[in-house]
Amino acid sequence: MRVVILGCGYIGIELGRQLTTAGHDVIGVRRSESGCEAIEDAGFSPHQADLTEGDDLAGLPDADWVVFAASSGGRDAAAARKIYVDALGDAIDSYGARESPPDGLIYTSSTGVYGDHDGEWVDEETPLEPTTAKTEVLVEAERIARERAAAHGIDGTVARFSGLYGPDRYRLDRYLDGPVTEGYLNMVHRVDAAGAVAFLLTEDCARDEVVLVTDDEPADKWEFADWLADQCGVETPPKQTTEERLAESDLSDAGRRRVLTSKRCSNDYLRKLGYEFTYPTYREGYRDAVDTYTAE
């Protein structure tokens, strides 16, 4: 199949690498020349375009499947809306108006749409409760990915990622130095985030559905930090309760919301579909980072 990855960055490049290795025709779309060079270095074809420009959208390559994995490039809701709502909707309309529209679309979303669940489990059936203007935008984007795509006869799927980690995103110092605030970490390694999307494409499953993409074990932050310290041969970091962190004067409003947001994400449906993880928990996923740290 031919797959066009719009916003081919951290996950998109890994996805393109995996699909190309499997024999598919992949084109990665980035706005910058350096981004296109990174795609070329990864072994598949780049296409330079700005997803917010109508002329650029019209010139995007035809595809059997489109993956929308673009980043907003900013933390505020306005930046998010420009990419996740406006550019996504325009891309769907542009592809849907073609003589041969794509068979399907996969939009990569975030578990931030769930809001706070006081440490309880969430899955694809859990009602969404966005707590910020940005996560409200992400909820709207999920609706667009499925409903507007369907209006054009395109099957829209939402891959809802938990916290991404992997090369360049291990954050070892943050957990080794501390202080570490209590709560849960829901994570998925870059290889498995991309791998799950590749699986949905190549196995042709979960059309017009939501799939939560997270690893097998939501990690207790204190246990995770102590495990890292033990593996790296250093002292365990200082800990703090939620109440202690909330009492600190340097905590921003956004930081306060993050501290108050707690949930455990289930990958039961992804497992039921048949996906097999390369890094089922942080213990496997952080192995390379730990080995690099101890070798320095």
Give the distance from CA 228 to its chain's centroid. Answer: 23
Q: What is the pLDDT of residue 55?
A: 94
Closest to 83 in 3D by CA, of 97, 94, 69, 96: 69
Q: What is the pLDDT of residue 74?
A: 67
State the 10-residue block means of pLDDT for the chain, 296 residues long.
Answer: 97 98 98 97 98 95 97 83 96 97 97 92 96 92 97 98 96 94 96 98 97 97 97 97 85 76 95 98 98 94
Q: Which residues contact 82 (CB under 8 A, 6 or more apart)?
A: 52, 72
Closest to 194 in 3D by CA, of 92, 23, 48, 69: 69
As a whole number of angstroms, the distance between CA 296 and CA 288 comes to: 13
Amino acid at 160: R
Amino acid at 244: E
Amino acid at 252: S
Closest to 67 in 3D by CA, of 90, 88, 44: 88
Q: What is the pLDDT of residue 245?
A: 85
Tell me the torsion sign for CA atoms 112, 114, 116, 122: negative
Q: What is the pLDDT of residue 252?
A: 78
